[in-house]
């Protein structure tokens, strides 16, 4: 029993427990999501020491802006190759939690505010990792949407929001890519810690979704280990030095825990070890090729937000000055467990100077530890102003490392004051100002964006971001990224703002399903740059939208295609470029509140000038559904659907309306069901209708919302209590048959 229980937790920070007697090895796991953070043997446990060098790819916020599943799969493969070379069997990532608030300190590690986009991209990354025989641990399951009080916070979420938004990301990844493991989150969901949440870990995850991999804890996320084993939690990480294993053994001995639960958990651990343990760390690696892939990914991640008067691409670098310490000291990744020790590090200044030696540079503001840190601010500003006079300024601004990290949330959306001062100073004298932003999550631009000619959001672009930006501004590469998160005009317009990050140990997800653009649009709040937005150096035209809809019957499976939208995209400009047409649906006759627009598909198309392509986007029954809290299942309804093709959630290029036919939703009828609900039920309505004949069309509306048990009270002439009792008895048989 003790030997079995020992398998329930890690042997140290990064390994499972070996059993020498049986020749069971220890499996090594390692962060992280956009590059390995493998600690050398005997490194400090907290992982504060530098890890073994690995390629630092753009972080998830950047990768998500590519909307490019093929690229994500390629990166997954590269991550797995590096894992294999370092003897790592399971990569602790990707992190896929939804971006509920732009302030979450870990948003740089997460993909999107939209569950479909986050799910598709993360699934592609997982598929890439696992195609090389390395396991992925998709994290943090579930509802880990803030860092404030992350180890204890109780996320209060209604059932529909949980299903449609927070869980559906994981559900999609499991369906598409079968990850080897999930990592459960620290927090509680509706009063139960994820690490001991039977509903989450067993009923939903395994029984409904059919997940047959392993669930491990986030590092130190165990609350009650015995309850965890019973709930479906398999592996505790890291080691709790035997403490929790002993508690489990005692619980089995005293019949407080069924030994079958323990056996199930360790079987999954053994299966994972057998499948993913690496025996031969020696593995040839082409780190040069990975750096090149990181560059391509950084280039694809950049989102051109604004480009007034075609300020970009630059026609030459002759009149250009580079300003901003971040051009020389790049901010390229975030802090915390995902921090990679890069194999190389490009910076934009050197990359631009390779194209144009002697390009002038001024730091403009200090960054901690940078060469400019010793100069007084006034001096830095004065020199920047002098250098900018009459020139085109490439102005590098962003969030310093301390502003966003695992472990805490941001307090505001603003750029640092000295960056904004620099911008205004430079603007007064420069001929053009082109802002290049480095930050892991949305920053406010509304207070300064009208003052600049162009803005390119680079996110945290990884180790090759410097070279990527040099190629983008000079036109060697074309920007192709699209926003995977909204850039709000101000924090106060954001739906999450009413509740985030909660108080007294609890955060209420009061916006429900109206996360990100869904909520902004519902409230009529226009952001600075909408979800899906991104400019290119070419132009596209979208034409000929058509939609085919199949009737949904009782036999239509959730994964069957019901709606197919087709249209044509043409590159009407003079350069090769990437179009990302986005399919949004709106449900005009829905019986429940639905967002004005929901992303239901997208395509990533690279087109030569003049090239046109016919696109088809298919939507399944599941993706047309809402989560019905009365039947606890996915539901589609008959009604009109607005089909839209957008270049962003606010820039709709094509639109049509179509009708979906679906079987009526037959809710079990009771005396508390309304007249309308009885009416939807053919068998029952036949019986009730004759009693209501006295009501004319003019008065009928009054009845519709009335529970039938109120009829004898309010209109005794219509229906007596006795008649109602009889009716209910008859109906019970009809309802149970249907
Ligand atoms: C983080 C995880 C990470 C783990 C191991 C935790 O603090 O939340 O994302 O994988 O540490 O480093």
Task: State how far the Cα of 234 lies from the Cα of 216, in Å rounded to an integer.
Answer: 6
Residue 624, classified by CB atoms within 10 Å of its CB into exposed (0-12), middle (13-18) or buried (19+), is: buried
Task: State how far the Cα of 115 lies from the Cα of 109, in Å rounded to an integer.
Answer: 15
Q: Do residues 157 and 189 touch, judged by C-beta distance below 8 A?
A: yes
- CA 180, 186, 187, 193 dihedral sign is positive
Q: Do residues 595 and 515 touch, judged by C-beta distance below 8 A?
A: no
Q: Three-state secondary structure along 554-618?
A: CCCCCCCEEEEEEEEEEECCCCCEEECCEEEEEECCCCCCCCCCEEEEECCEEECCCCEEEEEEE
Q: Which of 285, 273, 271 lies closest to 84 in space, CA to CA?
A: 285
367: helix, strand or coil: coil
Quick one: pLDDT at residue 558? 97
Q: Catalytic: which of 218, 346, 403, 623?
A: 218
Residue nearest to atom 8 of ligand 1 (CA): 218
CB atoms within 10 A of CB 593: 12
Residue nearest to atom 11 of ligand 1 (CA): 219
Distance (Å) from CA 14 to ligand 1 centroid? 11
Torsion of CA 261, 263, 265, 269, to 10 degrees: 180
Distance (Å) from CA 673 to ligand 1 centroid? 48
Q: Which of 466, 468, 485, 464 lies closest to 476 in space, CA to CA?
A: 468
CA distances from 675 to 663, 671, 706, 738 (A): 19, 10, 6, 18
* Block mean pLDDT (10 aa), the chain, length 738: 98 96 96 90 64 96 98 98 95 98 98 98 98 98 98 98 98 98 98 98 98 98 98 97 97 98 98 90 86 98 98 97 98 94 97 98 93 88 98 98 94 96 97 98 98 98 98 98 98 95 97 98 98 98 98 97 98 98 98 97 98 98 97 95 98 98 86 89 88 79 88 87 91 56
CA distances from 469 to 279, 338, 484 (A): 40, 23, 19
Name the phi and psi angles at 413, rounded to 5: -100, 0
DSSP class of residue 501 equals T
CA distances from 139 to 109, 111, 221 (A): 11, 12, 12
Ligand 1 near 38 CB (within 6 A): no
Distance (Å) from CA 407 to ligand 1 centroid? 10
Distance (Å) from CA 256 to ligand 1 centroid? 31
Ligand 1 near 92 CB (within 6 A): yes
Quick one: pLDDT at residue 64? 98
Mutating to test ligand 1, I would choose from 15, 28, 47, 92 the residue with most ligand atoms within 8 A of its C-beta, which is: 92
Mutating to test ligand 1, I would choose from 93, 147, 187, 337 the residue with most ligand atoms within 8 A of its C-beta, which is: 337
The yes-or-no answer on residue 589 being catalytic is no
Ligand 1 near 139 CB (within 6 A): yes
Q: Which two tokens stand for residue 322?
A: 């580079």
Ligand 1 near 150 CB (within 6 A): no
Residue nearest to atom 3 of ligand 1 (CA): 337
Ligand 1 near 31 CB (within 6 A): yes
Distance (Å) from CA 457 to ligand 1 centroid? 27
Query: pTM of this prediction?
Result: 0.96
Task: State how far the Cα of 194 lies from the Cα of 711, in Å rounded to an integer.
Answer: 46
Name the phi and psi angles at 245, rounded to 5: -60, -40
Ligand 1 near 218 CB (within 6 A): yes
Residue nearest to atom 12 of ligand 1 (CA): 337
Distance (Å) from CA 30 to ligand 1 centroid? 9
What are the DSSP E strand ranges found in 369-471? Answer: 392-398, 432-438, 454-457
Name the phi and psi angles at 432, rounded to 5: -140, 145
Q: Do residues 68 and 114 touch, judged by C-beta distance below 8 A?
A: no
DSSP-H helix ranges across 222-282: 225-231, 243-253, 259-276
Quick one: pLDDT at residue 694? 80
Quick one: pLDDT at residue 737? 37
Q: Do residues 568 and 611 touch, judged by C-beta distance below 8 A?
A: no
Quick one: pLDDT at residue 736? 44
Quick one: pLDDT at residue 738? 34
Distance (Å) from CA 150 to ligand 1 centroid? 12
Mutating to test ligand 1, I would choose from 29, 90, 94, 218 the residue with most ligand atoms within 8 A of its C-beta, which is: 218
Mutating to test ligand 1, I would choose from 15, 49, 97, 336 the residue with most ligand atoms within 8 A of its C-beta, which is: 336
DSSP class of residue 371 equals G
Quick one: pLDDT at residue 469? 98
Ligand 1 near 337 CB (within 6 A): yes
Beta-ladder partners of 346: none
């Amino acid at each position: 029993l003790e030997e079995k229980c020992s398998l329930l937790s890690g042997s140290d920070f990064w390994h499972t427990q070996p059993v020498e007697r049986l020749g069971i090895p220890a499996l090594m796991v390692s962060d992280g999501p956009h590059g390995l953070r493998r600690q050398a043997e005997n490194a400090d446990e907290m992982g504060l020491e530098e890890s073994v060098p690995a390629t630092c790819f753009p972080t998830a916020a950047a990768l998500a802006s590519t909307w490019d599943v093929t690229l994500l799969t390629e990166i997954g493969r590269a991550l797995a190759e590096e894992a294999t070379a370092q003897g790592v069997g399971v990569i602790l990532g990707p992190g896929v939690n939804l971006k509920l608030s732009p302030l979450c300190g870990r948003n740089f590690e997460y993909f999107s505010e939209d569950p479909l986009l986050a799910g598709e991209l993360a699934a592609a990354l997982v598929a890439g990792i696992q195609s090389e025989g390395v396991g992925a641990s998709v994290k943090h399951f579930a509802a880990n949407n803030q860092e404030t009080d992350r180890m204890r916070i109780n996320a209060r979420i209604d059932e529909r929001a949980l299903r449609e938004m927070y869980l559906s990301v994981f559900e999609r990844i499991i369906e598409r890519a079968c990850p080897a493991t999930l990592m459960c989150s620290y927090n509680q969901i509706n009063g139960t810690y994820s690490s001991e949440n039977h509903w989450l870990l067993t009923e939903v995850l395994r029984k409904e979704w059919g997940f047959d991999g392993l669930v491990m804890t986030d590092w130190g996320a165990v609350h009650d280990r015995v309850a965890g084993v019973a709930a479906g939690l398999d592996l505790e990480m890291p080691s709790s030095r035997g403490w929790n294993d002993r508690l489990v053994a005692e619980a089995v001995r005293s019949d407080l825990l069924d030994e079958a639960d323990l056996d199930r958990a360790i079987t999954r651990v053994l299966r994972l070890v057998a499948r993913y343990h690496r025996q031969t760390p020696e593995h040839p690696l082409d780190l040069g090729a990975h750096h090149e892939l990181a560059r391509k990914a950084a280039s694809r991640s950049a989102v051109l937000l604004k480009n007034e008067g075609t300020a970009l691409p630059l026609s030459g670098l002759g009149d250009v000055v580079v300003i901003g310490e971040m051009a020389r000291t790049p901010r390229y990744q975030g802090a915390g467990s995902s921090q990679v020790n890069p194999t190389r590090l490009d910076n934009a200044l050197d990359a631009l100077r390779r194209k144009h030696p002697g390009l002038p540079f001024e730091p403009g503001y200090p960054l901690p530890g940078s060469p400019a840190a010793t100069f007084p601010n006034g001096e830095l500003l004065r020199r920047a102003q002098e250098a900018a006079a009459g020139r085109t300024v490439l102005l590098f601004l962003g969030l310093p490392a301390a502003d966003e990290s695992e472990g805490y949330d941001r307090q505001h959306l603003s750029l640092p004051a000295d960056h904004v001062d620099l911008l205004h100073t430079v603007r007064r004298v420069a001929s053009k100002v082109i802002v290049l932003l480095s930050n892991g999550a949305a920053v406010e631009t509304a207070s300064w964006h009208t003052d600049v000619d162009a803005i390119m959001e680079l996110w945290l672009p990884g180790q090759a971001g410097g070279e990527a930006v040099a190629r983008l501004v000079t036109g060697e590469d074309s920007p192709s990224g699209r926003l995977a998160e909204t850039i709000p005009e101000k924090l106060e317009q954001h739906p999450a703002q009413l509740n985030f990050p909660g108080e007294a140990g609890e955060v209420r997800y009061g916006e429900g399903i109206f996360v990100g653009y869904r909520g902004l649009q519902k409230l009529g709040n226009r952001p600075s740059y909408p979800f899906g937005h991104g400019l290119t150096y070419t132009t596209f035209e979208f034409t000929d939208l058509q939609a085919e809809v199949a009737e949904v019957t009782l036999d239509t499976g959730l994964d069957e295609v019901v709606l197919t939208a087709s249209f044509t995209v043409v590159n009407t400009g003079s350069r090769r470029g990437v179009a990302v047409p986005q399919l949004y649906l709106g449900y005009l006759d829905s019986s429940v509140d639905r967002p004005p627009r929901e992303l239901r598909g997208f395509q990533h198309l690279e087109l030569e000038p003049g090239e046109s392509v016919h696109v088809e986007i298919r939507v399944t029954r599941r993706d047309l559904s809402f989560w019905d809290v009365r039947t606890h299942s996915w539901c589609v309804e008959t009604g009109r659907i607005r089909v839209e093709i957008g270049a962003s959630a606010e820039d709709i290029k094509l639109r049509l309306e179509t009708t979906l036919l679906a079987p009526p939703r037959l809710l079990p009828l009771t005396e508390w069901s309304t007249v309308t609900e009885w009416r939807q039920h053919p068998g029952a309505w036949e019986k009730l209708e004759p009693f209501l004949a006295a009501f004319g069309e003019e008065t009928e509306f009054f009845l519709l919302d009335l529970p039938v048990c109120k009829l004898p009270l309010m209109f005794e002439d219509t229906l007596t209590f006795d008649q109602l009792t009889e009716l209910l008895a008859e109906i019970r048989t009809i309802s149970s048959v249907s």
